[in-house]
Structure 1
Amino acid sequence: MVLRLDKFLKVSRLIKRRTLAKEVAGQGRITINGNNAKASSVVSVGDELVIRFGQKVVTLEVTSLQEAAQKGEAETLYRVIHEEKVD
């Protein structure tokens, strides 16, 4: 199974709305396995995502893919590898 990046970010609740996920990807603030990602980029299990949220950079690994997830399940879709504050 594969998902678009914007859909994965919404389902995993890393970013609340799909339109906002598209915007963040469009600004070049997300990479998948070291490559700049677009909202339409495909995400697979095992991929490493690096997302820049304002003053924070989060590196995570995709552990599972689902079309939809309840609030409690959302955190099981990824594993945070590294999180750092950036000035």
Structure 2
Amino acid sequence: MESTRVDRWLWAVRLTKSRTDAAGACRGGHVRVNDRPAKAATGVSVGDEVRVRVGDTVRIVEVVRVIQKRVGAAEAVTCFIDRTPVRAPEVPVARRDRGAGRPTKRDRRVLDRFRTSRQ
């Protein structure tokens, strides 16, 4: 088994919940193999880089082993190397309710303390 379809591989290694979701991601342009847009039938072989957008994150994986059948999660993670960069933690932002009016003097002091504590 030298290569398989990208939609089948994405489903088999549990990057998508179903093969239909994987094919839909390919159709929507959310899957790239070696920096080229991939259709569902695009072949994937060992050494290929696959980028897939799942939800709001982009996963970048390198194919280590080609499988066609869905396997357990412990075995699925051995089929790829995750090269996704680590995202920086989100910084909390001070927000006010829309229509709350101008901040009071006390509110401004709280905001100033919040801003200076982050720097």
Q: If the length of structure 1 is used for normalisation, what is the TM-score?
A: 0.89
CA RMSD of aligned residues (A): 1.4
- Counterpart Cα distance in 2 of 1:25 and 1:84: 24
Greater RCO, CA 8 A, separation 6+ = 1
Could you list the structure 1 runs, at least 4 aligned residues long, displaced by more than 6 angstroms after superposition. Answer: none
Per residue, is there more helix in 1 or in 2? 2
Deviates more, 1:34-43 or 1:65-74: 65-74
Aligned residues: 85
User: What do the CA deviations read for 1:1-36 (whole angstroms, capped 9, x no partner)?
Assistant: 111011101110111100110001100011000100
Name the structure 2 match of 1:70: 72
In structure 1, runs of 5+ residues without a counterpart are: none
In structure 2, runs of 5+ residues without a counterpart are: 88-119
Say if 1:81 and 1:27 are closer, same or farther in 2 by CA, change over 3 A.
same
Per residue, is there more strand in 1 or in 2? 1
Contact (CA 8 Å) 2:5, 2:40: kept in 1 or not?
yes
Bigger Cα Rg:
2
Q: If the length of structure 2 is used for normalisation, what is the TM-score?
A: 0.66
Q: Does 1:45 align with 2:46?
A: yes
- Counterpart Cα distance in 2 of 1:16 and 1:26: 16
Say if 1:57 and 1:83 are closer, same or farther in 2 by CA, change over 3 A.
farther
- Counterpart Cα distance in 2 of 1:58 and 1:19: 18
Identity %: 33
